[in-house]
C-alpha cells in the first residue's frame, strides 16, 4: 500500500517523496537519522529520540530546519496520515544538495524526511527460542574516528558486520572494539546475565546508547535486578547464564548461542523473559 511521507514541511504521496542525486546524504552518507516505534498510537520515548537526533546533528554541524516541537508533530502527523497505531518511524535529516566534493558549506536546504510503516525485524520463533549469533571480524568504528553517539547515515561499518553474520547463517553479529572488547551488535545493544547480575558494555566501549537499552536498565532497577555497565570480552558472553539484545526495532530478544557456544541452558532465561515482559508492559502503558 502506498505510504504518505513527510518531506521538509508537508505530507506528500510516496511517489512524490524525492531527493536530489546531488544530496550529500546520498553521495557521502552526510546526515543523521532515528528509528522510533509507536504503540497504540503513541511514540515510545519520542522526546528522547528527538533529543538524540538533534545532538547527532549538532555534533556534525548540521542545522535542522525544524524546531523539536515541529519535528515531534511531523512524526505524529505522519503516523496519523498512514493510519498506523503500531508502527515504525524512520526520521532522516540529510545535509542537502550541493556540488560534487566533500565541502558541506556548498550544500543548501537540508532535507527532513519522515517515513512511517510497519516492521517485523525478527520472526516470532526467534523471540520464543532465541537467536544464534557470531562475532564479526569487522570491528566497531574507533570512537576517536567517529563517535558512536552520532547516529549518522553512514552505516557501512555495521552493514559489513551484518553481511558476515548473514553469510554464517545468522541474522545478527557481535561487534568488538579496537581493544577486542564487546561493543554491540550491528543494530542492537548487548546484555548478559551472570550470577543474577545484569551487565552491559559502557559507552566508552564504542556503543550507541540505545533508548531501549536505557529503558531496560530502568526496568531492571525497578525489578530489583542489579544492573551495571561493565567492560566485557567474549569470554564473559560465552560463560554467561543468559544473553539478550535490545533495540527500537528488535525490542528485547534472547540470544542462546554465540560462536557455536551454548549460552546457559541454550534457551531464553528467566531474567531475559522477565525484562521482555516488563518492556512489553511498559510500551503498552
pTM comes to 0.95
- CATH fold, domain 124-284, is D-amino Acid Aminotransferase; Chain A, domain 2 (3.20.10)
Structural domain boundaries in the chain: 4-117, 124-284
Q: Is 262 a catalytic residue?
A: no
- What is the pLDDT of the chain when averaged over all its residues? 96
**pLDDT tens digits, 227-280:** 999 999 999 999 999 999 999 999 999 999 999 999 999 999 999 999 999 999
Show Cβ contacts of residue 153 under 8 Å, excluding neighbours closer than 6 positions: 25, 29, 30, 31, 32, 33, 92, 94
Catalytic residue among 73, 151, 162, 262: 151
SS (H, E, C) 182-206: EEEECCCEEEEEECCEEEECCHHHC
Q: What is the CATH architecture of 4-117? A: 2-Layer Sandwich (3.30)
**pLDDT tens digits, 139-181:** 999 999 999 999 999 999 999 999 999 999 999 999 999 999 9
Grade residue 93 by pLDDT with cuts at 50, 70 and 90: very high
Amino acid at each position: 500500500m502506498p505510504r504518505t511521507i513527510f518531506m521538509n514541511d508537508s505530507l506528500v504521496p510516496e511517489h512524490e517523496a524525492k531527493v536530489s542525486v546531488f544530496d550529500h546524504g546520498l553521495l557521502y552518507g552526510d546526515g543523521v537519522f532515528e528509528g522510533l516505534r509507536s504503540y497504540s498510537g503513541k511514540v515510545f520515548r519520542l522526546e528522547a529520540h528527538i533529543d538524540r537526533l538533534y545532538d547527532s546533528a549538532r555534533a556534525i554541524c548540521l542545522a535542522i530546519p525544524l524546531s523539536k516541537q515541529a519535528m515531534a508533530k511531523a512524526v505524529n502527523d505522519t503516523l496519523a496520515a498512514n493510519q498506523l497505531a503500531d508502527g515504525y518511524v524512520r526520521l532522516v535529516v540529510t545535509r542537502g544538495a550541493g556540488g560534487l566534493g566533500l565541502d558541506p558549506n556548498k550544500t543548501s536546504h537540508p532535507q527532513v524526511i519522515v517515513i512511517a510503516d510497519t516492521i517485523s525485524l525478527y520472526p516470532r520463533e526467534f523471540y520464543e527460542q532465541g537467536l544464534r549469533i557470531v562475532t564479526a571480524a569487522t570491528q566497531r568504528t574507533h570512537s576517536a574516528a567517529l563517535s558512536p553517539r552520532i547516529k549518522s547515515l553512514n552505516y557501512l561499518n555495521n552493514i559489513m558486520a551484518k553481511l558476515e553474520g548473514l553469510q554464517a547463517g545468522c541474522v545478527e553479529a557481535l561487534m568488538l572494539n579496537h581493544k577486542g572488547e564487546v561493543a554491540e551488535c550491528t543494530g542492537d545493544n548487548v546484555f548478559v546475565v551472570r550470577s543474577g547480575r545484569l551487565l552491559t558494555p559502557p559507552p566508552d566501549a564504542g556503543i550507541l546508547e540505545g533508548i531501549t537499552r536505557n529503558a531496560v536498565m530502568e526496568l531492571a532497577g525497578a525489578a530489583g535486578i542489579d544492573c551495571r555497565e561493565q567492560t566485557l570480552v567474549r569470554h564473559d558472553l560465552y560463560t554467561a547464564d543468559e544473553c539478550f539484545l535490545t533495540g527500537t526495532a528488535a525490542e528485547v530478544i534472547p540470544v542462546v548461542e554465540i560462536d557455536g557456544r551454548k549460552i546457559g541452558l541454550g534457551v531464553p532465561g528467566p531474567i531475559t523473559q522477565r525484562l521482555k515482559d516488563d518492556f512489553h508492559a511498559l510500551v503498552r502503558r
